[in-house]
Amino acid sequence: MSHDTMGTLKAVLQHPGDFYPLMKLMIATKQAEKQIPTEPHWAFCYSMLHKVSRSFGLVIQQLGAELRDAVCVFYLLLRALDTVEDDTKIDTMVKIPILMEFHRHIYDPDWHFSCGTKEYKILMDQFHHVSTAFLELNGSYQEAIEDITMKMGAGMAKFICKEEVVSIADYDEYCHYVAGHVGMGLSKLFYASGKERLFPEPTSNAMGLFLQKTNIVRDYLEDINEQPKSRVYWPRQVWSRYANKPEDFKNKENSAKAIQCLNHMVTNALIHVEECLKYLTGIRDPAIFKFCAIPQIMAIGTLDLCYNNIEVFRGVVKLRRGLTAKIIDRTKTMADVYGAFYDFSLSLRSKINVKDPNAHLTVHRIDDIQKICRDSGTLDKWKSYITEEDPNYTPALLVRI
């Protein structure tokens, strides 16, 4: 029995409510894998999609056929861009022109660039399959994808030239280039499909920033331990308030300051929630809604998990698979979104220490989120992720500031 299987069984024993959603997710995943197209280039794209993101790939599979193909190709192109940007073994002077010209390479089925590791190396080595699929998309999809990959590549190249992310403004700009543009690109694809109106760019941008900042918070240790050169995305304007250098947070003697900095970063990410909820309320198509809502709920759940959690500096912190399955299974309407955001924000609020330097701001942002959820008038229908697993958890445990 594999280590992953043992871990899943242990988690199910601790959280019996995960069993049914996990089984549904496993069945749906198997069915999705059987539905992979027969054409070699599309077979590669969809099989690769499931390798680089199983849960995200499953949600993409539920979109309408034409939009599904466009989003699949878009996602793989973004993973390819990320692979080039993330590979610290590539010389900067080689990397910059590749990023700057990437939007042109997607039209060339003969182009490839070997970099990355594991499944990402396969993606880059056999990039011609993705280009071939891209060339079969409707022209409006191609135009939207080219525009976004051009802007993202240019933004990534700009930040490679910077030694570090200095200010919070720099941090927002970097997240805009690598993720805000993703939100804007998806909005353009939804619009091109004829299923949605074109969402405002600031709202689409917020969708990306919320996810990206969550990942940056969660991935501190992975990024700081990157070889041959560490990567630091936490802005100096934040971490310098708590340490001489960001690597210091790994040391146990700096745990108190590390937690304070972590909580500061989580609090910064929460500022985007209101715009994200506004975006989700405007979606009309049920499949597109599910596609957009699930990652946002997983993000607020991950921030709840990371807040005040020293394990961010010690190892891997991620939502357990059963909870992810539960989110995928339950998320169908805006009422589900409000319930989940209320649930996780309530949990996060209960962890706030009155002595934390950002406690008042964190509470203020959590209160704003909870007010939006309460004002929706849908919370009476919500079955909490928390209370069904921890009967001892009640709002009375909340800190009062």
Q: What digits encode the pLDDT tens for the residues 235-246?
A: 999 999 999 999
Q: Is the peptide bond before 40 cis (omega within 30 degrees of 0)?
A: no
Rounded to the nearest integer, the mean pLDDT of the chain is 89
Catalytic residue among 141, 177, 199, 218: 218
Has residue 3 got a pLDDT over 70?
A: no
**Per-residue pLDDT, 55:** 66
Domains, the chain, with CATH or none: 1-35 (no CATH), 38-161 (1.10.600.10), 193-401 (1.10.600.10)
Catalytic residue flag (residue 174): yes
Count of residues in the chain: 401
b/e per residue 371-390 (b: at least 16 CB within 10 A): ebbeebebbeebebbeeebe
- From the candidates 291, 313, 338, 385, give the one annotated as an active-site residue: 291
Gap between the Cα atoms of 189 and 170, Å rounded: 27
Query: Where does residue 258 fall: left (phi above 0), alpha (psi -120 to 50 degrees), or beta otherwise?
Result: alpha
Single out the catalytic residue among 54, 68, 231, 330. Answer: 231
Predicted pLDDT at 129: 97
What pLDDT is stored for residue 27 in this prediction?
A: 66
**Nearest-angstrom CA–CA distance, 313 and 306:** 10
Answer yes or no: is pLDDT of 202 > 90.
yes
Task: Give the pLDDT score at 385.
Answer: 67
Q: Region 322-330: what's the mean pLDDT? A: 89
Our answer to whether residue 365 is catalytic in this structure is no
* C-alpha dist (Å) from residue 372 to 162, 360, 386: 38, 19, 20
Q: Name the active-site residue from 113, 120, 174, 199.
A: 174
What is the model's pLDDT at position 52?
A: 87
- The stretch 149-156 carries a mean pLDDT of 94
Could you give the CA distance from residue 276 to residue 238 in angstroms, rounded to a whole number? 24
pLDDT bucket at 28, cuts 50 / 70 / 90: low
Residue 391 pLDDT grade (very low, low, confident, very high; cuts 50, 70, 90): very low
pLDDT at residue 45 tops 70:
yes
| pLDDT for residue 13 is more than 80 | no
Q: Using the predicted structure, report yes or no on whether residue 108 has a pLDDT greater than 80.
A: yes
- Is 218 annotated as catalytic? yes
Look at residue 331 in the predicted model and tell me its pLDDT.
93
What pLDDT, on the 0 to 100 scale, is given for residue 395?
40
Among 19, 18, 50, CA closest to 36: 50
Q: Is residue 35 pLDDT above 80, yes or no? A: no
Q: CA torsion 55→265→356→273, rounded to 10°?
A: -60
